[in-house]
Chain A
Amino acid sequence: MANNQARENDGHPLDELSPGLRRGVEAIVQKPVPEQVMHRALQAARRQRLTEADSQPRLVNRRWLRLALPCGLSAAAIVVAILSRVAPLSDSTVPGQAVAPSAQTTIAPSLPTAWACHRALSQSPEAFFAMLDLQAQHMLRPEPQSIQASVYPHFPQPTL
């Protein structure tokens, strides 16, 4: 082993080999890399590098996405909250169609509501005029009686 190590440190590496093995190694080592092989391999490596370079901006975009997504969701939640305060959500099952106020919750007929006007106009001009006529008839009627409302029946009932 020591002799082999001494041989490995001095002289040509191929001197360490037997003649048959040396011929085989020389056959490989003395054959240069064909120019076409060199060119194609380097071109392939460069093309691949372009793919890796393209992947780096994607990595950066993913980081931004992680920040943008929760911010976007928060902003959307804030907008929904604001809109829900401005225009109370209706419980209509048909999207885009408001629910008509029920007869039990008739609003004081002093003036038609914006919703009522909008709904009447969306139907037809005739419907709008009919609504105005109805409002006018309500205005001509005597005032309704006071409504007694009490949460606690045993206590004196306030008058509205």
Chain B
Amino acid sequence: MTDWEAMIDEYGPLVVGISWRILGHASDVEDNVQEVFFAAYRLQAKQTVRHWRGLLRRLATLGALAKLRRRRNDCSLEAVAPVDRSGLPEEDAIRQELEAKLRAAIAALPEREAASFSLRYYEGLTLPEIAQSLGINYSAAATALCRARAKLQNHFAEAMAEDK
């Protein structure tokens, strides 16, 4: 029988971190973390799980990306993380704007491309690790990553040109 308290203690910060970087929204992060562990619990009841870290990373990434797509524009004040007061207000505004743009652009990508991009640049995984996490082969992971990077670079290049 799986010790779920120990599982949450060991892998909870990983799941919360992945959810936070993709979503950036406190209540969505909370929901996603619950759903990830519940999904893992249900999977574990049906089959033996050998690699918990990979499974939870995959569930957290795909779940967060799905939530990102579904999220509405309305958000309450309590859901927004406190503003970093250490930097200048202008830098805060620029940083938050870049975050919002990147999240919106990632939400527009296909699932595999968005997941590959998030795992590579948010979590620092290598291509073999990305392929293993998503359950796809190496070439599929590489192709998805290249496409995601190209689309997002074009999107940000256009955005920066518009700002100028």
Contact = CB atoms under 8 A, between A and B. Distances in A.
B12 A18 contact: no
Given A38-B16, A41-B30, A49-B4, A25 B95 contact: no
B38 A21 contact: no
Contacts of B142: 1, 5, 8
Contact of B127 (A5, A41, A44, A45): A5
Contacts of A38: 13, 16
Interface string A35-67: 011101110111011001100000000000000
B20 A33 contact: yes
> Does more than half of chain A's interface fall in helix, strand or loop, or is it mixed?
helix
Interface in B60-107: 81-82, 84, 95-96, 98-99, 101-103
B52 interface: no
Contacts of B115: none
A8 B16 contact: no
A28 B37 contact: no
Given A5-B127, A17-B121, A41-B33, A25 B102 contact: yes
Contact of B29 (A28, A37, A46): A37
Given A27-B102, A34-B81, A52 B16 contact: no
A66 B146 CA distance: 55
A22 to B, nearest CB: 9
A41 B12 contact: yes
B30 A14 contact: no
Given A27-B99, A28-B102, A42 B16 contact: yes
A51 to B, nearest CB: 9
Contacts, number: 113
Contacts of A18: 153, 156-157
Contacts of A53: 4
Interface residues of B, number: 46
Interface in B111-164: 120-122, 124, 126-127, 142, 145-146, 149, 152-153, 156-157, 159-160
Given A8-B142, A20-B153, A45-B33, 16 more contacts: A14-B121, A17-B121, A21-B149, A25-B121, A27-B95, A28-B21, A31-B84, A33-B16, A37-B26, A38-B16, A40-B30, A41-B29, A42-B8, A42-B16, A49-B37, A53-B4
Interface of A: 1, 4-5, 8-9, 13-14, 16-18, 20-21, 23-25, 27-29, 31, 33-34, 36-38, 40-42, 44-46, 48-49, 52-53
29 contacts: A1-B146, A4-B146, A8-B127, A8-B145, A17-B153, A18-B153, A18-B156, A20-B159, A21-B152, A21-B153, A24-B102, A24-B156, A27-B96, A31-B95, A34-B82, A36-B26, A37-B20, A37-B30, A40-B26, A41-B15, A41-B30, A42-B8, A42-B13, A42-B16, A42-B33, A45-B33, A46-B5, A49-B8, A53-B4
